[in-house]
Chain A
Amino acid sequence: MTEIEDFAGPFWEGLNRNEFRVPSCDDCGTVVFPPGPICPECGSDELTWGEIDPVGTLHSVTQQHRTPPGFDSPIVLGMIDLDAGPRLLSPIDAEYEQLSIGDRVRIEAVDYDFAFDRGPRADDPFFTAVVVDDV
Protein backbone atom coordinates (compact mmCIF):
# COMPACT_ATOMS: atom_id res chain seq x y z
CA MET A 1 0.00 0.00 0.00
CA THR A 2 1.23 3.49 -0.80
CA GLU A 3 2.52 5.25 2.27
CA ILE A 4 1.21 8.79 2.82
CA GLU A 5 4.09 11.07 3.69
CA ASP A 6 3.93 13.71 6.42
CA PHE A 7 5.52 16.35 4.22
CA ALA A 8 6.17 18.89 6.99
CA GLY A 9 6.93 16.37 9.73
CA PRO A 10 10.70 17.01 9.87
CA PHE A 11 10.05 20.76 10.26
CA TRP A 12 8.07 20.22 13.46
CA GLU A 13 10.56 17.65 14.74
CA GLY A 14 13.31 20.23 14.20
CA LEU A 15 11.35 23.02 15.84
CA ASN A 16 11.13 20.89 18.98
CA ARG A 17 14.92 21.33 19.16
CA ASN A 18 14.65 25.05 18.14
CA GLU A 19 16.09 24.14 14.75
CA PHE A 20 14.52 25.59 11.55
CA ARG A 21 14.64 22.61 9.21
CA VAL A 22 13.30 22.92 5.66
CA PRO A 23 13.65 21.10 2.36
CA SER A 24 15.69 22.61 -0.49
CA CYS A 25 15.42 21.75 -4.17
CA ASP A 26 18.36 19.73 -5.47
CA ASP A 27 17.80 21.07 -8.99
CA CYS A 28 17.28 24.83 -8.56
CA GLY A 29 18.21 25.46 -4.93
CA THR A 30 14.86 26.90 -3.89
CA VAL A 31 14.14 26.62 -0.18
CA VAL A 32 10.64 25.19 0.09
CA PHE A 33 8.33 26.67 2.74
CA PRO A 34 5.87 25.53 3.84
CA PRO A 35 7.57 22.16 3.35
CA GLY A 36 5.85 20.21 0.60
CA PRO A 37 6.16 17.36 -1.87
CA ILE A 38 7.75 19.30 -4.75
CA CYS A 39 9.66 22.47 -5.48
CA PRO A 40 7.04 25.17 -6.21
CA GLU A 41 9.52 26.96 -8.49
CA CYS A 42 10.68 24.18 -10.84
CA GLY A 43 8.48 21.20 -9.98
CA SER A 44 11.33 18.90 -9.04
CA ASP A 45 10.65 16.27 -6.39
CA GLU A 46 14.34 15.94 -5.55
CA LEU A 47 14.36 17.72 -2.20
CA THR A 48 16.89 17.51 0.61
CA TRP A 49 16.19 18.56 4.19
CA GLY A 50 18.61 20.84 5.99
CA GLU A 51 18.79 23.49 8.69
CA ILE A 52 18.75 27.20 7.80
CA ASP A 53 19.35 30.28 9.92
CA PRO A 54 15.79 31.72 10.06
CA VAL A 55 16.71 35.39 9.88
CA GLY A 56 15.00 37.74 7.54
CA THR A 57 13.44 41.12 6.89
CA LEU A 58 10.00 42.42 7.80
CA HIS A 59 8.11 42.75 4.50
CA SER A 60 5.04 44.18 6.23
CA VAL A 61 3.31 44.24 9.60
CA THR A 62 -0.10 44.72 11.23
CA GLN A 63 -1.75 44.82 14.63
CA GLN A 64 -5.00 42.85 14.51
CA HIS A 65 -7.55 44.10 17.06
CA ARG A 66 -10.43 41.65 16.67
CA THR A 67 -9.22 38.09 17.13
CA PRO A 68 -10.88 34.67 16.96
CA PRO A 69 -12.21 33.15 20.19
CA GLY A 70 -9.39 31.71 22.28
CA PHE A 71 -6.80 34.28 21.13
CA ASP A 72 -5.45 37.30 22.98
CA SER A 73 -6.17 40.74 21.51
CA PRO A 74 -4.52 42.50 19.90
CA ILE A 75 -2.01 40.33 18.07
CA VAL A 76 0.95 41.57 16.05
CA LEU A 77 1.56 39.74 12.78
CA GLY A 78 4.06 40.25 10.02
CA MET A 79 5.18 38.87 6.70
CA ILE A 80 8.84 37.99 6.83
CA ASP A 81 11.09 37.45 3.85
CA LEU A 82 13.73 35.02 5.07
CA ASP A 83 17.24 35.56 3.74
CA ALA A 84 17.07 31.95 2.55
CA GLY A 85 14.18 32.85 0.21
CA PRO A 86 10.74 31.95 1.54
CA ARG A 87 8.12 34.38 2.87
CA LEU A 88 6.12 33.38 5.90
CA LEU A 89 3.41 34.88 8.06
CA SER A 90 4.48 35.00 11.69
CA PRO A 91 3.46 36.38 15.05
CA ILE A 92 5.94 39.01 16.22
CA ASP A 93 7.00 39.30 19.84
CA ALA A 94 7.22 43.11 19.85
CA GLU A 95 5.07 46.22 20.25
CA TYR A 96 3.45 47.21 16.96
CA GLU A 97 4.51 50.82 17.35
CA GLN A 98 8.15 49.75 17.59
CA LEU A 99 8.13 47.88 14.26
CA SER A 100 8.93 49.11 10.77
CA ILE A 101 9.13 47.56 7.33
CA GLY A 102 12.73 46.50 6.79
CA ASP A 103 13.38 45.50 10.42
CA ARG A 104 15.61 42.48 10.82
CA VAL A 105 13.97 39.57 12.62
CA ARG A 106 14.68 35.98 13.61
CA ILE A 107 12.18 33.13 13.94
CA GLU A 108 12.25 31.29 17.24
CA ALA A 109 10.35 28.31 18.61
CA VAL A 110 7.80 29.07 21.35
CA ASP A 111 5.38 27.01 23.40
CA TYR A 112 1.90 27.08 21.86
CA ASP A 113 -0.86 28.09 24.26
CA PHE A 114 -3.86 29.31 22.24
CA ALA A 115 -7.18 27.48 22.08
CA PHE A 116 -6.87 26.37 18.46
CA ASP A 117 -7.02 22.70 17.52
CA ARG A 118 -3.76 21.99 15.70
CA GLY A 119 -4.68 18.36 15.22
CA PRO A 120 -1.58 16.14 14.97
CA ARG A 121 0.64 19.17 15.77
CA ALA A 122 -1.10 19.80 19.11
CA ASP A 123 1.97 18.90 21.16
CA ASP A 124 4.52 20.69 18.96
CA PRO A 125 5.89 24.17 19.64
CA PHE A 126 4.95 27.02 17.29
CA PHE A 127 7.12 29.95 16.25
CA THR A 128 7.34 33.70 16.65
CA ALA A 129 9.59 36.44 15.30
CA VAL A 130 11.83 38.61 17.44
CA VAL A 131 13.63 41.76 16.34
CA VAL A 132 17.40 41.40 16.05
CA ASP A 133 19.87 44.19 15.48
CA ASP A 134 23.07 42.35 14.74
CA VAL A 135 22.38 40.27 11.63
Chain B
Amino acid sequence: MTTATVAGISTLPNDTYDAEERDMAATVLGDALDDAAVEPGDVDGLYMPKPRPWTSQKFFSTFLTRWLGLDLDRSLEVYTGGTSGGTAFRSAVADVRSGAVDTAAVLAVERNSTVETDDYFEYILGIFDRQFQSPMGPSIPAVYAQSLQRYCYEHDVDRETIATVVEKNRRNAESNPDALFYESAAPTPAEILDSRPISDPLRLYECPAPTDGAAALILTSDGSDDVDVEVTGIGYDHPPSHLIGVRGESMSRLPAAAGGTEAALDDAGLDAEDLDVLEPYAPFPHVEAIITEEMGLFERGEGARAAADGRTATDGEIPVSPSGGCIGRGHPAMVTPLINHAEAVRQLRGTAANQIDGARSVLTTSEHGHVDGMNAAVFEVKR
Protein backbone atom coordinates (compact mmCIF):
# COMPACT_ATOMS: atom_id res chain seq x y z
CA MET B 1 0.00 0.00 0.00
CA THR B 2 1.23 3.48 -0.87
CA THR B 3 1.75 5.85 2.06
CA ALA B 4 -0.06 9.18 1.96
CA THR B 5 2.26 12.04 2.92
CA VAL B 6 1.09 15.54 3.74
CA ALA B 7 3.37 17.62 1.53
CA GLY B 8 1.69 21.00 1.90
CA ILE B 9 -0.74 22.90 4.09
CA SER B 10 -2.31 26.34 4.15
CA THR B 11 -4.95 28.00 6.33
CA LEU B 12 -6.49 31.45 6.47
CA PRO B 13 -6.89 32.84 9.99
CA ASN B 14 -10.49 32.39 11.16
CA ASP B 15 -12.02 35.84 10.76
CA THR B 16 -14.57 37.76 8.67
CA TYR B 17 -13.68 38.09 4.99
CA ASP B 18 -15.22 40.28 2.29
CA ALA B 19 -13.53 38.20 -0.42
CA GLU B 20 -15.59 35.72 -2.43
CA GLU B 21 -15.29 32.03 -1.60
CA ARG B 22 -13.57 31.30 -4.94
CA ASP B 23 -10.78 33.74 -4.14
CA MET B 24 -10.34 32.38 -0.63
CA ALA B 25 -10.25 28.82 -2.00
CA ALA B 26 -7.74 29.62 -4.73
CA THR B 27 -5.53 31.47 -2.25
CA VAL B 28 -5.22 28.57 0.21
CA LEU B 29 -4.88 26.04 -2.58
CA GLY B 30 -2.08 28.06 -4.19
CA ASP B 31 -0.29 28.48 -0.87
CA ALA B 32 -0.60 24.76 -0.06
CA LEU B 33 0.78 23.85 -3.51
CA ASP B 34 3.70 26.24 -2.95
CA ASP B 35 4.29 24.68 0.47
CA ALA B 36 4.35 21.25 -1.18
CA ALA B 37 6.48 22.44 -4.11
CA VAL B 38 3.88 20.92 -6.41
CA GLU B 39 2.49 22.46 -9.61
CA PRO B 40 -1.28 22.79 -10.15
CA GLY B 41 -0.90 20.53 -13.18
CA ASP B 42 0.29 17.72 -10.89
CA VAL B 43 -3.00 17.64 -8.96
CA ASP B 44 -5.02 14.62 -10.07
CA GLY B 45 -7.53 14.47 -7.18
CA LEU B 46 -9.70 17.23 -5.67
CA TYR B 47 -11.66 16.57 -2.47
CA MET B 48 -13.80 19.06 -0.63
CA PRO B 49 -16.77 19.48 1.65
CA LYS B 50 -19.65 20.96 -0.30
CA PRO B 51 -19.74 24.63 0.72
CA ARG B 52 -22.68 25.57 2.94
CA PRO B 53 -26.12 25.96 1.33
CA TRP B 54 -25.90 29.75 1.62
CA THR B 55 -22.78 29.84 -0.57
CA SER B 56 -23.89 31.43 -3.84
CA GLN B 57 -21.49 29.44 -6.06
CA LYS B 58 -22.86 25.94 -6.55
CA PHE B 59 -20.98 23.07 -8.25
CA PHE B 60 -17.94 24.55 -6.50
CA SER B 61 -15.45 21.77 -7.26
CA THR B 62 -16.51 21.64 -10.90
CA PHE B 63 -16.13 25.40 -11.16
CA LEU B 64 -12.64 25.25 -9.59
CA THR B 65 -11.58 22.43 -11.89
CA ARG B 66 -12.08 24.48 -15.02
CA TRP B 67 -11.04 27.82 -13.49
CA LEU B 68 -7.70 26.41 -12.33
CA GLY B 69 -7.18 24.09 -15.30
CA LEU B 70 -7.13 20.93 -13.19
CA ASP B 71 -7.32 17.58 -14.97
CA LEU B 72 -8.61 15.11 -12.41
CA ASP B 73 -8.79 11.36 -12.07
CA ARG B 74 -10.94 11.68 -8.95
CA SER B 75 -13.03 14.45 -7.40
CA LEU B 76 -15.45 14.57 -4.51
CA GLU B 77 -17.72 17.28 -3.10
CA VAL B 78 -19.42 15.81 -0.04
CA TYR B 79 -21.86 17.14 2.54
CA THR B 80 -22.50 15.41 5.84
CA GLY B 81 -22.35 18.39 8.21
CA GLY B 82 -19.26 18.71 10.41
CA THR B 83 -17.76 15.43 9.25
CA SER B 84 -17.59 16.66 5.64
CA GLY B 85 -14.01 17.94 5.68
CA GLY B 86 -12.85 14.80 7.44
CA THR B 87 -14.70 12.59 4.98
CA ALA B 88 -13.15 14.45 2.02
CA PHE B 89 -9.73 13.98 3.61
CA ARG B 90 -10.35 10.28 4.37
CA SER B 91 -11.40 9.71 0.77
CA ALA B 92 -8.27 11.46 -0.49
CA VAL B 93 -6.04 9.31 1.72
CA ALA B 94 -7.80 6.17 0.49
CA ASP B 95 -7.29 7.18 -3.16
CA VAL B 96 -3.59 7.95 -2.63
CA ARG B 97 -3.13 4.66 -0.82
CA SER B 98 -4.85 2.71 -3.59
CA GLY B 99 -2.82 4.38 -6.30
CA ALA B 100 -5.86 5.96 -7.94
CA VAL B 101 -4.35 9.40 -7.31
CA ASP B 102 -0.77 10.63 -6.84
CA THR B 103 -1.37 14.23 -5.77
CA ALA B 104 -4.58 14.99 -3.88
CA ALA B 105 -5.75 18.49 -2.99
CA VAL B 106 -8.14 18.65 -0.03
CA LEU B 107 -9.82 22.01 0.23
CA ALA B 108 -12.51 23.72 2.30
CA VAL B 109 -14.01 27.20 2.37
CA GLU B 110 -16.84 28.71 4.38
CA ARG B 111 -18.28 32.17 5.02
CA ASN B 112 -20.68 32.32 7.93
CA SER B 113 -20.67 36.12 7.73
CA THR B 114 -23.01 35.93 4.73
CA VAL B 115 -25.91 34.10 6.40
CA GLU B 116 -28.65 35.81 8.44
CA THR B 117 -29.29 34.23 11.83
CA ASP B 118 -32.95 33.48 11.05
CA ASP B 119 -31.95 31.81 7.78
CA TYR B 120 -29.35 29.72 9.61
CA PHE B 121 -31.93 28.57 12.16
CA GLU B 122 -34.34 27.60 9.38
CA TYR B 123 -31.56 25.62 7.68
CA ILE B 124 -30.69 23.84 10.94
CA LEU B 125 -34.34 22.81 11.41
CA GLY B 126 -33.91 20.75 8.26
CA ILE B 127 -31.21 18.52 9.73
CA PHE B 128 -33.64 17.26 12.39
CA ASP B 129 -36.31 14.63 11.67
CA ARG B 130 -38.76 16.67 9.56
CA GLN B 131 -41.80 14.74 10.77
CA PHE B 132 -41.07 14.20 14.45
CA GLN B 133 -38.51 16.82 15.57
CA SER B 134 -38.29 19.89 13.31
CA PRO B 135 -41.88 21.01 14.12
CA MET B 136 -40.82 21.77 17.72
CA GLY B 137 -38.11 24.25 16.62
CA PRO B 138 -34.87 22.72 17.96
CA SER B 139 -31.33 24.08 17.54
CA ILE B 140 -27.97 22.32 17.68
CA PRO B 141 -27.01 23.82 21.08
CA ALA B 142 -30.33 22.47 22.42
CA VAL B 143 -29.08 18.96 21.72
CA TYR B 144 -25.59 19.47 23.14
CA ALA B 145 -27.08 21.23 26.18
CA GLN B 146 -28.89 18.00 26.98
CA SER B 147 -25.78 15.83 26.76
CA LEU B 148 -23.97 18.36 28.95
CA GLN B 149 -26.83 18.18 31.44
CA ARG B 150 -26.66 14.41 31.41
CA TYR B 151 -22.86 14.31 31.73
CA CYS B 152 -22.89 16.56 34.80
CA TYR B 153 -25.78 14.59 36.32
CA GLU B 154 -24.28 11.14 35.86
CA HIS B 155 -20.74 11.97 36.90
CA ASP B 156 -21.37 14.68 39.50
CA VAL B 157 -19.33 17.19 37.50
CA ASP B 158 -20.01 20.83 38.38
CA ARG B 159 -20.37 23.61 35.84
CA GLU B 160 -17.16 25.34 36.95
CA THR B 161 -15.22 22.22 35.99
CA ILE B 162 -16.80 22.22 32.52
CA ALA B 163 -15.93 25.92 32.17
CA THR B 164 -12.23 25.12 32.72
CA VAL B 165 -12.24 23.31 29.36
CA VAL B 166 -13.37 26.56 27.73
CA GLU B 167 -10.83 28.58 29.71
CA LYS B 168 -8.00 26.25 28.60
CA ASN B 169 -8.97 26.46 24.93
CA ARG B 170 -9.37 30.23 25.05
CA ARG B 171 -5.94 30.52 26.70
CA ASN B 172 -4.43 28.37 23.95
CA ALA B 173 -6.09 30.62 21.35
CA GLU B 174 -4.54 33.75 22.90
CA SER B 175 -1.19 32.77 21.37
CA ASN B 176 -2.45 31.28 18.07
CA PRO B 177 -2.45 33.98 15.33
CA ASP B 178 -4.89 31.89 13.25
CA ALA B 179 -7.50 31.89 16.04
CA LEU B 180 -10.48 34.21 16.18
CA PHE B 181 -9.67 34.89 19.84
CA TYR B 182 -5.93 35.52 19.25
CA GLU B 183 -4.65 38.08 21.77
CA SER B 184 -8.14 38.20 23.33
CA ALA B 185 -8.01 37.63 27.11
CA ALA B 186 -9.50 34.27 28.06
CA PRO B 187 -12.60 34.53 30.26
CA THR B 188 -12.50 33.06 33.75
CA PRO B 189 -14.86 30.20 34.65
CA ALA B 190 -17.03 32.72 36.50
CA GLU B 191 -17.21 34.96 33.43
CA ILE B 192 -17.99 31.95 31.23
CA LEU B 193 -20.89 30.91 33.46
CA ASP B 194 -22.11 34.53 33.65
CA SER B 195 -22.30 34.88 29.86
CA ARG B 196 -25.77 34.82 28.41
CA PRO B 197 -27.67 31.53 28.24
CA ILE B 198 -27.97 30.00 24.76
CA SER B 199 -29.72 26.75 25.57
CA ASP B 200 -29.70 26.01 29.30
CA PRO B 201 -27.34 25.09 30.78
CA LEU B 202 -25.02 26.05 27.87
CA ARG B 203 -23.71 29.61 27.98
CA LEU B 204 -22.46 31.81 25.13
CA TYR B 205 -18.73 31.35 25.84
CA GLU B 206 -19.23 27.57 25.81
CA CYS B 207 -20.52 27.70 22.23
CA PRO B 208 -18.23 27.97 19.19
CA ALA B 209 -18.28 31.34 17.40
CA PRO B 210 -19.17 30.96 13.71
CA THR B 211 -16.51 32.56 11.49
CA ASP B 212 -15.27 32.57 7.91
CA GLY B 213 -12.30 30.42 6.97
CA ALA B 214 -10.49 28.34 4.37
CA ALA B 215 -7.85 25.63 4.44
CA ALA B 216 -6.09 23.28 2.04
CA LEU B 217 -3.80 20.26 2.31
CA ILE B 218 -1.80 18.51 -0.39
CA LEU B 219 -1.34 14.74 -0.10
CA THR B 220 1.24 12.97 -2.23
CA SER B 221 2.29 9.40 -2.84
CA ASP B 222 6.01 10.14 -3.04
CA GLY B 223 6.80 12.05 0.15
CA SER B 224 8.45 15.44 0.40
CA ASP B 225 12.01 16.69 0.50
CA ASP B 226 12.32 17.62 4.17
CA VAL B 227 10.13 16.54 7.08
CA ASP B 228 7.74 13.78 6.11
CA VAL B 229 4.38 13.89 7.85
CA GLU B 230 2.52 10.72 7.05
CA VAL B 231 -1.15 9.94 7.47
CA THR B 232 -0.75 6.60 9.22
CA GLY B 233 -4.33 6.08 10.33
CA ILE B 234 -7.81 6.88 9.11
CA GLY B 235 -11.02 5.68 10.70
CA TYR B 236 -14.73 6.28 10.71
CA ASP B 237 -17.69 5.03 12.68
CA HIS B 238 -21.40 5.82 12.55
CA PRO B 239 -23.56 3.86 14.99
CA PRO B 240 -27.37 4.12 14.59
CA SER B 241 -27.55 7.68 15.92
CA HIS B 242 -29.23 10.84 14.67
CA LEU B 243 -29.10 13.75 17.16
CA ILE B 244 -30.65 11.96 20.16
CA GLY B 245 -28.03 9.27 20.52
CA VAL B 246 -28.02 5.51 20.27
CA ARG B 247 -31.08 3.59 21.47
CA GLY B 248 -30.69 2.54 25.09
CA GLU B 249 -27.47 4.51 25.55
CA SER B 250 -27.00 7.64 27.64
CA MET B 251 -26.51 10.96 25.84
CA SER B 252 -23.34 11.31 27.90
CA ARG B 253 -21.81 8.57 25.78
CA LEU B 254 -20.40 9.12 22.28
CA PRO B 255 -20.06 5.66 20.72
CA ALA B 256 -18.91 7.12 17.39
CA ALA B 257 -15.95 8.72 19.17
CA ALA B 258 -14.89 5.37 20.55
CA GLY B 259 -15.36 3.58 17.23
CA GLY B 260 -13.86 6.22 14.95
CA THR B 261 -10.72 6.80 17.00
CA GLU B 262 -10.20 3.08 17.61
CA ALA B 263 -10.39 2.42 13.87
CA ALA B 264 -7.83 5.13 13.11
CA LEU B 265 -5.48 3.97 15.87
CA ASP B 266 -5.76 0.37 14.68
CA ASP B 267 -4.93 1.53 11.16
CA ALA B 268 -1.86 3.33 12.52
CA GLY B 269 -0.87 0.47 14.80
CA LEU B 270 -0.92 2.76 17.84
CA ASP B 271 -2.66 2.86 21.19
CA ALA B 272 -4.33 6.02 22.48
CA GLU B 273 -1.60 6.29 25.13
CA ASP B 274 1.02 6.53 22.38
CA LEU B 275 -0.37 9.83 21.09
CA ASP B 276 1.44 13.08 21.86
CA VAL B 277 -1.32 15.58 20.93
CA LEU B 278 -5.07 15.60 20.23
CA GLU B 279 -6.74 18.16 17.98
CA PRO B 280 -10.38 17.06 18.19
CA TYR B 281 -13.44 18.61 16.59
CA ALA B 282 -15.17 19.50 19.85
CA PRO B 283 -17.64 22.33 19.44
CA PHE B 284 -18.73 22.23 23.09
CA PRO B 285 -16.55 21.70 26.17
CA HIS B 286 -18.07 18.47 27.45
CA VAL B 287 -17.61 16.92 23.99
CA GLU B 288 -13.85 17.37 24.25
CA ALA B 289 -13.94 15.75 27.68
CA ILE B 290 -16.09 12.82 26.56
CA ILE B 291 -13.93 12.15 23.48
CA THR B 292 -10.88 11.70 25.73
CA GLU B 293 -12.95 9.33 27.90
CA GLU B 294 -14.22 7.34 24.93
CA MET B 295 -10.58 6.95 23.82
CA GLY B 296 -9.79 5.46 27.21
CA LEU B 297 -7.40 8.24 28.21
CA PHE B 298 -9.48 9.11 31.28
CA GLU B 299 -12.13 7.37 33.36
CA ARG B 300 -15.76 8.29 32.66
CA GLY B 301 -16.53 11.66 34.16
CA GLU B 302 -12.83 12.48 34.56
CA GLY B 303 -12.26 14.17 31.19
CA ALA B 304 -13.44 17.58 32.36
CA ARG B 305 -11.67 17.25 35.69
CA ALA B 306 -8.50 16.45 33.76
CA ALA B 307 -8.76 19.86 32.11
CA ALA B 308 -9.33 21.51 35.48
CA ASP B 309 -6.20 19.77 36.77
CA GLY B 310 -4.09 20.89 33.78
CA ARG B 311 -3.62 17.36 32.48
CA THR B 312 -4.82 18.39 28.96
CA ALA B 313 -2.96 21.74 28.89
CA THR B 314 -0.05 22.32 26.52
CA ASP B 315 2.33 21.22 29.31
CA GLY B 316 0.06 18.41 30.51
CA GLU B 317 0.35 14.67 30.02
CA ILE B 318 -1.82 14.72 26.86
CA PRO B 319 -2.28 18.19 25.34
CA VAL B 320 -5.79 18.53 23.89
CA SER B 321 -6.62 21.35 21.45
CA PRO B 322 -3.33 23.25 21.81
CA SER B 323 -4.51 25.38 18.85
CA GLY B 324 -7.56 26.47 20.84
CA GLY B 325 -9.97 24.08 19.13
CA CYS B 326 -13.41 25.12 17.94
CA ILE B 327 -14.02 27.27 21.00
CA GLY B 328 -10.76 29.22 20.88
CA ARG B 329 -10.25 29.40 17.12
CA GLY B 330 -13.86 30.01 16.08
CA HIS B 331 -15.69 27.45 14.01
CA PRO B 332 -16.27 27.41 10.26
CA ALA B 333 -17.66 23.88 10.41
CA MET B 334 -16.69 22.82 6.88
CA VAL B 335 -13.13 24.08 7.41
CA THR B 336 -12.53 23.04 11.03
CA PRO B 337 -11.56 19.43 10.20
CA LEU B 338 -8.86 20.63 7.79
CA ILE B 339 -7.63 23.23 10.28
CA ASN B 340 -7.26 20.39 12.78
CA HIS B 341 -5.25 18.46 10.20
CA ALA B 342 -3.07 21.48 9.41
CA GLU B 343 -2.46 22.00 13.14
CA ALA B 344 -1.44 18.35 13.43
CA VAL B 345 1.07 18.82 10.61
CA ARG B 346 2.46 21.98 12.23
CA GLN B 347 2.97 20.12 15.50
CA LEU B 348 4.91 17.41 13.66
CA ARG B 349 6.95 19.93 11.67
CA GLY B 350 7.73 21.80 14.89
CA THR B 351 6.10 25.00 13.66
CA ALA B 352 2.87 25.15 15.71
CA ALA B 353 1.94 28.37 17.49
CA ASN B 354 1.74 26.39 20.74
CA GLN B 355 4.36 23.79 19.97
CA ILE B 356 4.39 20.59 22.01
CA ASP B 357 8.03 19.59 22.45
CA GLY B 358 8.95 16.42 20.63
CA ALA B 359 5.47 15.74 19.20
CA ARG B 360 5.64 12.70 16.91
CA SER B 361 1.98 11.64 16.65
CA VAL B 362 -1.27 13.60 16.58
CA LEU B 363 -4.89 12.45 16.33
CA THR B 364 -7.64 14.63 14.88
CA THR B 365 -11.39 14.09 14.70
CA SER B 366 -14.46 15.49 12.97
CA GLU B 367 -18.10 14.81 13.76
CA HIS B 368 -21.62 15.72 12.76
CA GLY B 369 -25.05 16.07 14.31
CA HIS B 370 -24.52 15.13 17.94
CA VAL B 371 -21.32 13.19 17.28
CA ASP B 372 -23.56 10.75 15.42
CA GLY B 373 -20.66 9.82 13.16
CA MET B 374 -16.95 10.50 13.56
CA ASN B 375 -13.88 10.60 11.35
CA ALA B 376 -10.49 10.25 12.97
CA ALA B 377 -7.00 10.59 11.48
CA VAL B 378 -3.55 9.86 12.87
CA PHE B 379 -0.54 11.84 11.67
CA GLU B 380 3.03 10.81 12.42
CA VAL B 381 6.39 12.33 11.59
CA LYS B 382 9.00 10.20 9.84
CA ARG B 383 12.37 11.95 9.87
Which residues of A pack against B, CB within 8 Å? 8, 34, 40-41, 59-71, 75, 77-79, 85-91, 96, 101, 112, 114, 116, 118-119, 121, 126
Contact = CB atoms under 8 A, between A and B. Distances in A.
B132 to A, nearest CB: 5
A67 B244 contact: no
A64 B129 contact: no
A62 B145 contact: yes
B121 A69 contact: yes
Given A62-B199, A64-B142, A114 B137 contact: yes
Contacts of B243: 89
* Residue from A59, A68, A69, A85 with most neighbouring chain B CB atoms (10 Å): A68
A112 B132 CA distance: 12
Nearest to B246: A87
Contacts of A88: 132, 244
A61 B244 CA distance: 12
B146 interface: yes
7 contacts: A63-B197, A63-B199, A65-B197, A71-B137, A77-B136, A86-B247, A121-B135
Contacts of B145: 62, 64
Contacts of A118: 130-131, 135
Interface residues of B, number: 41
B240 A40 contact: yes
A119 B245 CA distance: 26
Given A59-B150, A59-B251, A96-B200, A66 B131 contact: no
B53 to A, nearest CB: 15
B146 A60 contact: yes
B350 interface: no
Contact of B251 (A70, A79, A96): A79
Contacts of A126: 135-136
Nearest to A40: B240
A101 B245 contact: no
Interface string B204-215: 000000000000
Contact of A62 (B135, B200, B240, B248): B200
B105 to A, nearest CB: 36
Contacts of B250: 59
B80 interface: no
Interface in B267-319: none
Interface centre among A78, A88, A89, A90 (most CB of B within 10 A): A89
